[in-house]
Amino acid sequence: MAAKPTTQTTQARLSSIIKESRNTMRKDAGLNGELDRLPQMAWLLFLKAFDDLEEERELTEGDYRPALELEYRWRAWAGDSTLTGEPLLAFVNGKLLPRLRKLQGTGKAGDPRDTLRRVFQDTQNRMLSGFLFRELVDQLDKVEFTNRDDIHTMAHLYESMLREMRDAAGDSGEFYTPRPLVRFIVDRVDPKPGETVLDPAAGTGGFLVEAFAHMTEGDVTAEERGHAKAGIRGVEKKPMPFLLCQMNLLLHGIDQPDVVEQNSLGFSLAEMRRDGVDVVITNPPFGGEEEKSVQANFPPHLQTAETAWLFLQAVMARIERSKVGRAAVVVPNSTLFDRGVGGRIKAELMSKFNLHTVLRLPNGVFAPYTLIPSNVLFFERGKQQPHVWFYEQPMPEGRKQYTKTKPMRFEEFGECAEWWGGDTRNGRIATAHAWRVAADDIKADGYNLDLRNPDRGDDLVHRSPVELVDELVSAERELLGLLEELQREVKGFAQ
């Protein structure tokens, strides 16, 4: 088969294509808002990209066998301009999507048939007009994915659409990690080609994309790039983020992503240890609750409904058997100060791993969706060292919090990156933002990690509710004492 001619699609042209596509979708009665429109465009773009990359593999790999019969490949049905209206909807709804859901692969990681089946297991066409559907397909067919420059440009545009998706999803309680924070975390954990990297709450794949970019930057060989691709793993529970994650990875050059749609917590800790990895980087959901059957996967004395605590245990299990095991986990403030089941889980953490750094994030990192103060726990396989370092990331000068229009920037982490001390973390010193606490003191205090910067005055953002209430009660008692004294003086004066 001869290669079809390709032309580089400029960013301006791609932007125009996406704009027209979204305008077309706005006219369809079956789509309501970005939470409907973006997934609709995503799964169509996925099929287009998949077919283009398959065509490339057919040309470069003599024994490559396409995952789909010709009838179901994008080039066949999308390229048939006579297929429109009700016949087009009948084909897509009655033949294409059912066929994708029934594909059977080998079960091995990265098999394209298994990938397609998982991606489209819960995918539905929500458009009601077959004529508008044809307009949308014709627009998206203009994008070329066989040109690497086009893929790079499309990836950037896709990320901008994901941000809009995240803005819309924020109203539903979904909080996505800002890209500058993701990049900083990945840089500190430093995954390398040949290591397995897992995000057990992958969302739309931000951590995995950044990890792959980190492992393949600079002068890397084709073999190292292949190892980096093979080492990327993800798990996502919800269908919509799962589809977006697959698309995101595909656009960033991971053409056979090892990402599955399931609940990461639906396995015993023993199973998680057996299916271990070298690196875990994640921002798991917090504030949610898991059902009893999921809680039963964890030891009785460490069972809880709170997802953040279960994910922390799952992360520990995943890296427990790797000689280079290391992790970074975003957690809410409640994880730091909890002394109940949380205290027991932190005791487990500091008895089996080296909790070396607690990064205290400034207020509003996840604004405008939530103002819950957050932190990042960095730990690694090995004996707990005598001290735990804390670093309080400051707000930019003159700012009180981040907002949607003025979000966090990567450059703000420059001082922390310099202080970090490289892979060995040698040479760390106490600064206005960094201090260390003896591990024995943390243990004696019930594994409370909600510790304030000794160089700062009062900091309400990172104070625990218990501490705040205790101080409020003390203040009220002091005020009551002053009022009682004033009352006595007034009575004495009246006599």
Instruction: Report the pLDDT value the prediction gives residue 174, as an integer from 0 to 100.
Output: 45
- Residue 166 banded pLDDT, cuts 50, 70, 90: low
Instruction: State yes or no: pLDDT of 92 exceeds 70.
Output: yes
Q: Return the beta strands (E) in 216-321 as ranges.
A: 232-236, 258-261, 279-282
Cβ atoms of 139 and 25 within 8 Å: the answer is no
pLDDT (tens digit, 9 = 90+) per residue, 288-302?
Answer: 788 899 999 999 999
- For residue 264, give the amino acid letter: S
Asked if residue 494 has pLDDT above 60, the reply is no
Burial label for 125, CB within 10 Å (0-12, 13-18, 19+), is middle
Q: Is residue 162's pLDDT more than 80?
A: no
Residue 328, pLDDT > 90, answer yes
Q: Are 361 and 374 in contact (CB under 8 A)?
A: yes
The pLDDT of residue 113 is above 80: yes
Rg of the Cα atoms in the chain? 26
State the average pLDDT for the chain: 85
Q: For residue range 394-419, what is the model confidence (pLDDT) as tens digits?
A: 988 888 777 767 788 999 999 999 99
What pLDDT does 86 receive?
97
The model's confidence at residue 171, banded by pLDDT at 50, 70 and 90, is very low
Burial 469-493 (b: 16+ CB within 10 A, else e): eeeeeeeeeeeeeeeeeeeeeeeee
Q: What is the pLDDT of residue 77?
A: 97
Would you say residue 466 has pLDDT above 70? no
Q: For residue 305, which amino acid is it?
A: A
Side-chain-side CA neighbours of 284 within 13 Å: the count stands at 30
* Amino acid identity at 482: L
CB 362 within 8 A of CB 393: yes
Task: Quote the pLDDT of residue 167.
Answer: 58
What pLDDT, on the 0 to 100 scale, is given for residue 148? 57
Confidence of residue 1 (pLDDT cuts 50, 70, 90): very low
61 pLDDT more than 50: yes
Residue with tokens 């409020």: 472
Q: CB-based contacts of 323: which residues, under 8 Å, 6+ apart?
A: 381
Is residue 160 a contact partner of residue 242, using CB atoms and an 8 Å limit?
Answer: no
CA distance linking residue 22 with residue 36, whole number of Å: 11
Q: Which of 272, 266, 268, 269 is nearest to 233 (CA)?
A: 272
This prediction's pTM = 0.78
- Does the pLDDT of residue 169 top 60, yes or no? no
Identify which has the larger pLDDT, 107 or 276: 276
Higher pLDDT, 7 or 132: 132
pLDDT for res 443: 96
pLDDT in tens, 371-394: 678 899 999 999 999 999 999 999
Residue 451: pLDDT over 50: yes
Burial of 339 (0-12, 13-18, 19+ CB in 10 A): middle
* Contact assessment for residue 404 and residue 167, using Cβ atoms and an 8 Å cutoff: yes
Residue 212 has pLDDT above 80, yes or no: yes
Tell me, what's the pLDDT at 53? 81
Which is it for the CA torsion 468, 470, 472, 474, positive or negative?
A: negative
Q: Which residue shows structure tokens 């003390």?
A: 474
Confidence of residue 121 (pLDDT cuts 50, 70, 90): confident
Task: Please state the length of the chain.
Answer: 495
Q: What is the pLDDT of residue 370?
A: 63
Question: Which pLDDT band, with edges at 50, 70 and 90, does 20 fall under?
Answer: very high
More confidently predicted of 64 and 22: 22
CA distances from 223 to 24, 196, 209, 226, 441 (A): 43, 15, 19, 5, 47
Which range has the top average pLDDT, 101-115, 171-185, 346-360, 411-425? 346-360
The predicted pLDDT at position 187 comes to 97
- Given a contact cutoff of 8 angstroms between Cβ atoms, the answer to whether 97 and 41 are in contact is no
Please indicate whether residue 48 or residue 478 has the higher confidence score (pLDDT): 48
pLDDT tens digit string along 227-248?
999 999 999 998 777 877 887 8
